[in-house]
Structure 1
């Protein structure tokens, strides 16, 4: 399989200018409005091909058994990973200049919404090849610089890191835009929506959200925070410069070297295992304290403690063995990555018990 640079050079065109932009922030921070305005400006003023992939639109509730139900956190995680695989299939088609194939395993409703999303933005044709599960790219998608803007909360840095990994895999540009909006404003806007989220969900996300931190994570160095609702419909020179820089300086492609990876994993695991153990213990202890403050019933407290300690044990074993059952990245080199992933899995457990208060 060719990476982005190899494919472009093979056609004698030089590398394609392709980029992924992660748009993150709390629900109702104004991300979708911002994404539409930015997309329009980039098309009109820069002549770029732009695709906005709004996760809430492409991962609908319609395929659930109960229309009024919401997916469990574990379901959302699987759906997010599936959607990222769809995006990878599209990028592969663009890189190699060929029709986009459909993944063999897919959620039909979500896949159809993804295809519609790309067609509506002039990136895919309404072609006869659809019967063969292939989709033709438009001239716009093939001939112009292309930016995909992924619009979602992305409140854990591990969620954003998955997108960065995809950019690194194919030597794509990568950047992040964080819409900083007060919790009170988000709750007020959310209340005005036809299908509003529970206010508690936004408050919980506000406590958990991990803003881009370039000083701590080198891979987040191309990040920009924009105040919402202060932003205007016109992208600032600083934002345009961020996008241009990302396109001109794609993430360096890293060849797979299994032997080196294993050596690095052993060294890394040895160094962080003790630190991870101590940190996860503190997280479990703090979570149990919060559960007691929330007046979770004693029997449920016992079950919660058992599940959290089991998760901690499995996480540490994962670090020792390198099984990557929980860690979604290829190689964990920072304790913050481990902690973020643990928080994500812990949230799936905690929700079952705190909701029973």
Structure 2
């Protein structure tokens, strides 16, 4: 009897454990296969509630079409942020033990796919009150430790940091799994898929991908890089990482605004100077690449104007405490965050001019 009561006590304590796990890597690295296997094992061995949210399955297909590739970066960014809002709605319901309310503004097809994703994994009840835009949580979702595995490329650090911010908002566990797979293997697997990505897209992502760097970024401390060929053998290592993340949730410390203002004034000049120098170097390198691509002189001039305008807007974001355009999701901003976001927006600008050549 005592043993049984002890076990129940442990279960009650673990009911409060919630975590977000970012699963990242190149397209066709084996992330989805790994996520399914990991989810099954955690349910069977740990009796956890697990939700795998594969971005490719939830995002509208129209933005994956090759003919819409030019519009992809900016549209994709907006959709990623919208999906995080959906996750926020679900987490609020889980934390408060209540129904999940639909956000007032949403992309209907994407929302429906998100709801189906949670229902299929026994996190939302099929008897949900859709007519009232409310959804009932299952017993599994509210009585077991819960880990949400977000499956996407997450090739920029800034993409993963947005998930970390969500974990910090609700004091959740947070960890990252990077699936390292040779480029040649990814290209081969991609060619065998029903829906093939352009090979140049994978090559480009391989050059740009920013792997988790726990030594440099404290928020990436709970990260693990796995060789795709050794995933089955790494099961204990992965479980240990998830347990550690759940047992050490991100602390949501209330901001000390007076101290924050003092720190901001102290470091803003130095940060602005560093950012200005780094963004100048990025623009200079980008212009060299554009010339190498034989972009027409008139377009080179326009590209330089657009990039310098983008740089000016980023520097203004650093000066502002509100009304930010590009860094609005950043509460704590470092030079690496600025560079990551700038690269993301810069690529959107450059794509327009490079594509004009063809």
The TM-score normalised by the length of structure 1 is: 0.92
Question: 1:116-265 to 2 correspondence within 5 Å?
Answer: 116-232=116-232, 235-265=234-264
Q: 1:328 to 1:193 in 2, by over 3 A?
A: farther
Q: 1:226 to 1:128 in 2, by over 3 A?
A: closer
Residues of 2 paired with 1:25 and 1:144: CA distance?
29
Match of 1:95 in 2: 95
8 Å CA contact retained: 1:155, 1:210:
yes
8 Å CA contact retained: 1:167, 1:251:
yes
Report which of the two has the higher share of helix: 2
Match of 2:288 in 1: 289
8 Å CA contact retained: 1:49, 1:147:
yes
Match of 1:34 in 2: 34
8 Å CA contact retained: 2:14, 2:144:
no
Q: 1:263 to 1:127 in 2, by over 3 A?
A: farther
Residues of 2 paired with 1:128 and 1:330: CA distance?
35
8 Å CA contact retained: 1:300, 1:353:
yes
3-state SS, counterpart of residue 72 of structure 1: helix
Residues of 2 paired with 1:259 and 1:343: CA distance?
32
Match of 1:313 in 2: 312
Q: Which runs of 5+ in 2 are unaligned?
A: 1-11
8 Å CA contact retained: 1:175, 1:223:
yes
1:279 aligns with 2:278: yes
1:350 aligns with 2:326: no
Q: Which runs of 5+ in 1 are unaligned?
A: 1-11
Residues of 2 paired with 1:213 and 1:248: CA distance?
21
Q: 1:223 to 1:133 in 2, by over 3 A?
A: same
3-state SS, counterpart of residue 229 of structure 1: helix
The TM-score normalised by the length of structure 2 is: 0.91
8 Å CA contact retained: 2:15, 2:145:
no
Residues of 2 paired with 1:329 and 1:259: CA distance?
21
Residues of 1 paired with 2:104 and 2:47: CA distance?
34
Shift of residue 69, structure 1, vs aligned partner: 3.2
Residue by residue, what CA displacement relative to the aligned partner does 1:216-272 show, whole Å, maximum 9, x if unpaired? 10000100000113322x652211110000011101112144444433333332221
3-state SS, counterpart of residue 35 of structure 1: helix
3-state SS, counterpart of residue 230 of structure 2: coil
Q: Say how many residue pairs are matched.
A: 344
